[in-house]
Amino acid sequence: MTYCVGIRLNAGLVFLADTRTNAGVDQVSSCRKLSVFENPGERMMVLMTAGNLSISQSVVQVVCDHVGPDGLSIWTAPNMQVAARIVGEAVRTVHKQEWATLGEFGIDFNISMVLGGQIKGERSRLFYIYSAGNFIESHDENTYFQIGESKYGKPILDRVVTPLTSLDDAAKCALISMDSTLRSNVSVGLPLDLLVYEEDSLAVTRFVTIDEQNQYFYLLRTSWSQQLKAVFEGIDAPVWNAAPDIAANVLSTSNMHSKPMRVNLPAGIHPIETPAPMQSLAGQARTKSHQ
């Protein structure tokens, strides 16, 4: 599996991809999933892939080799929409060639891709390309796309990223998103490829491959964990079964009628007396202060 995220901002684009591939618990390796198509001063595009590695590598190769009857290729597409269409056509080409054979072996045609970049004459754009070759584009209402193991890294992106976010803050957010995924899913792993593109530069200006020795990523992982714990510990515990006039940290009050859906006891089993519900120490102190 994998995890990749692409972010579209007013200031440019951010791309981050892991390199973990695995075909079982004892067949884990690394393979880069971020490809750059760059003609400095004229275009800079990034293609990230997730899904079956053999399929995604085949699609990337078709994209590299493709020249349509009209002479269009990834290198001559007049805008990013046409470039996304060329990638989508490459997906359909590989599907036509491989799906029947893959199906005989019970293998799904599984691929998703993120394409982003800038062609001279238009602003930066970002696309999500599906396994059918169709695609959608990012706008201000959806500033990022994820592929692969997306669920673990999504919350921080939803809370932080807007079109006005700076490139450095977006890169930091993407790295935290990746760290959350690394901690929760062993199918995602280092090293990481991080590319930050500055609007109108039309060339790669910031790129780094991040491994276990990277000083900033180690600092970010450590600081994020420590500060999350500090914030968690700074939130008061809930008060259970509080007196009705207590206003702070109340999760339930004594006059509430919340009850679980209980399954009836079978015949022959008799209920025994249960202890009274307990309050937190904070709740007990507040209750006494109001007596």
Identity of residue 105:
F
Residues 6 or more apart whose CB falls under 8 angstroms from that of 72 comprise: 82, 86
**CA dihedral of 263, 266, 270, 276, whole degrees rounded to 10:** -10
**Tokens of residue 16, six digits:** 């981050």
Rounded-to-integer distance, Cα 267 and Cα 45, Å: 70
Rounded to a whole number of angstroms, the distance between the first and last alpha carbons of the chain is 59
Rounded-to-integer distance, Cα 225 and Cα 269, Å: 48
How confident is the model at residue 244, as a pLDDT? 85
Rounded-to-integer distance, Cα 159 and Cα 285, Å: 36
Please, are residues 195 and 34 in contact by the beta-carbon 8 Å criterion?
yes
How confident is the model at residue 273, as a pLDDT? 75
Nearest to residue 4, comparing CAs of 52, 64, 37, 51?
51
Nearest to residue 85, comparing CAs of 41, 39, 141, 125?
125
DSSP sequence for 5-30: EEEEETTEEEEEEE-EEESSTT-EEE
Please, are residues 93 and 62 in contact by the beta-carbon 8 Å criterion?
yes
Please, are residues 204 and 247 in contact by the beta-carbon 8 Å criterion?
no
How confident is the model at residue 287, as a pLDDT? 52
Residue ranges covered by each domain of the chain: 3-230, 236-291
How confident is the model at residue 25, as a pLDDT? 66
How confident is the model at residue 29, as a pLDDT? 84
How confident is the model at residue 225, as a pLDDT? 97
What's the pTM? 0.90
Nearest to residue 37, comparing CAs of 108, 106, 119?
119
Rounded-to-integer distance, Cα 13 and Cα 34, Å: 14
Q: Which residue in this structure is represented by tokens 């929760």?
A: 184
DSSP sequence for 222-246: HHHHHHHHHHHHHSPPPBPSB-TT-
Q: Which fold has domain 3-230?
A: Glutamine Phosphoribosylpyrophosphate, subunit 1, domain 1 (3.60.20)
Rounded-to-integer distance, Cα 40 and Cα 280, Å: 63
Q: Where are the beta strands (DSSP E) in the chain?
A: 3-9, 12-18, 20-22, 28-30, 34-39, 43-51, 111-119, 125-129, 135-137, 144-148, 192-198, 206-210
User: Residue 261: helix, strand or coil by DSSP?
Assistant: coil
How confident is the model at residue 183, as a pLDDT? 95
∠ CA 233-178-140, nearest 5°, is 100
How confident is the model at residue 164, as a pLDDT? 98
User: Residue 252: helix, strand or coil by DSSP?
Assistant: coil
How confident is the model at residue 148, as a pLDDT? 96
How confident is the model at residue 28, as a pLDDT? 77
How confident is the model at residue 291, as a pLDDT? 53
How confident is the model at residue 22, as a pLDDT? 74
What is the chain's pLDDT, residue by residue, as a tens digit (291 residues)? Answer: 799 999 999 999 999 999 998 756 677 789 999 999 999 999 999 999 999 999 999 999 999 999 998 999 999 999 999 999 999 999 999 999 999 999 999 999 999 999 999 999 999 999 999 999 999 999 999 999 999 999 999 999 999 999 999 999 999 999 999 999 999 998 899 999 999 999 999 999 999 999 999 999 999 999 999 999 999 999 999 999 999 888 899 999 988 888 999 999 999 998 887 666 565 555 555 555 555
